[in-house]
Structure 1
């Protein structure tokens, strides 16, 4: 089999996985027109239509679905064969593609990326940070990072660092003439900066103390979908923000933000890297896991 044919098959797998020429092009690092040309070339060579195409969607034909079922295990075997060469090298090589929530990515990866790549010069990290809920299998990731309560049952989960916690913060200007809340119920008397998930759902603020767990549906004049903007809004006195502690530490030290309800803000229940139980654990992913655990 020629290299061109292998490239065609890899492109077919990418389009079949994403149901999108554009997303397949991003993963392959080429133009969408190049992906379209490659698929057309493959279909002409085999003499069978593999995809239904409309202006809005891409889907597999019956022949395409059969081809995908047969081809996927073969490419999995190729991946394992290539990865087996790592046993003859000092460090692993290859690409590891990981999904991580955008809101926590800087804290999880800050002290990891540099040392990981320095120790493994043949490794390529493809990191996608988004707060959108992602199906790592469907979207072609090797692994994802999430909090424990959101993991699916058919995943292998590895506990990683750091331990993260939320803080409720407001500016001195906001607290001027206002009572500082002492318990979660007091938030009903305050303007709060709400967070909206990419799904459109509004995040309730969660508290815990002495075994008591409370969810508070807060109200306020502004709703945002980015924690950096939430911190900026809090600095400008727009209201109280419920954000990751690490994100506001320098403002707490300088006094530009004031923490409240600290005794109700318990550490989170754990951060995990997870991957499908049926997935082969490559040397590259193992190196990533070891660094995140340390």
Structure 2
């Protein structure tokens, strides 16, 4: 069986790419004579010329074109495999790309990313926020963070923070003019701040109590596409807003907002960090998963302690 070394194969591809032995040698950090010897040795064992050489030019022969056409994909695969193994080393490094929504980034993900940077300064983190759901594999992300219900079935999902709940909130100035709603149907009599989703659809407020689910197509003159703006508008007395309870917590505690219909907004499974199940997990992603798990477990312990004190 005819064997070829990796350096010989890389030399052939480099010469074919640069059409120059000298330029190929610089790219591979070899001397021109060593590179020329590697190519000549492979040609001798193959019994064919891979290149036509003159004092002024280098071009592929018919046999060389065939070899390069078959060889390039195989070498790319070898290079990719070696890079994956390199990324499995114990010390996290490189760039970690995470895709999530803006709300999830503000509520949960950014503090974990900052902790990742504190612990692993050699890791660069790129956090991309967008409301549309993306294919993290097709768009080159290492992981995504979304609500549990939105994670594809073929992904490995890890809890990222605790359960979440929504909240219907309004400013004291708004409730000075109108009575607080007692049931979902009462929302139809209120000025509500509507939310337009990334898909273009206007969100119907989803409420639930004791297994009974209700979706209300609320009315209102103001439609926004951003929860931060909805909170600002609600604080200003523009109407009722339906937002994450955690996002509204500071305004509720300060008295700028009051929560209503709390019995109709129970907790639900929250965010999940997810990544492909069929891909090697790089050291940087393993480190970030560890931070997510520890942060989520710590939040769970604090929640149990709080419930114990209030009991």
TM-score normalized by the length of structure 2: 0.68
Q: CA contact under 8 A between 2:165 and 2:267: conserved in structure 1?
A: yes
Give me the whole-angstrom Cα distance separating, in 2, the residues matched to 1:280 and 1:67: 25
265-274 vs 106-115, which moves further: 106-115
Give me the whole-angstrom Cα distance separating, in 1, the residues matched to 2:163 and 2:76: 37
Please tell me whether residue 79 in structure 1 is matched to residue 52 in structure 2.
no
Please tell me whether residue 271 in structure 1 is matched to residue 255 in structure 2.
no
Q: CA contact under 8 A between 1:108 and 1:162: conserved in structure 2?
A: no
Give me the whole-angstrom Cα distance separating, in 1, the residues matched to 2:76 and 2:151: 25
Please tell me whether residue 102 in structure 1 is matched to residue 106 in structure 2.
no
Is the alpha carbon distance of 1:69 and 1:255 closer, same or farther for their aligned partners in structure 2, counting shifts above 3 Å? farther
Q: CA deviation at 1:248?
A: 1.6
Aligned residues: 232
Output the aligned Cα RMSD.
Answer: 2.6
Please tell me whether residue 216 in structure 1 is matched to residue 177 in structure 2.
no
Q: CA deviation at 1:78?
A: 3.3
5+ unaligned residues in a row in structure 2: which ranges? 1-9, 18-58, 61-69, 295-311
Give me the whole-angstrom Cα distance separating, in 2, the residues matched to 1:68 and 1:201: 47
Structure label with greater radius of gyration? 2
Q: CA deviation at 1:73?
A: 4.1
Is the alpha carbon distance of 1:215 and 1:71 closer, same or farther for their aligned partners in structure 2, counting shifts above 3 Å? farther
TM-score normalized by the length of structure 1: 0.72
Q: CA deviation at 1:69?
A: 7.3
The residue aligned with 1:147 is 147
115-124 vs 137-146, which moves further: 115-124
Superposition misfits of 4+ residues, deviation over 3 angstroms: 66-76
5+ unaligned residues in a row in structure 1: which ranges? 9-45, 48-65
Cα distance per residue 1:195-232 (max 9 Å; x no partner): 11122122221112112122212121111111110011
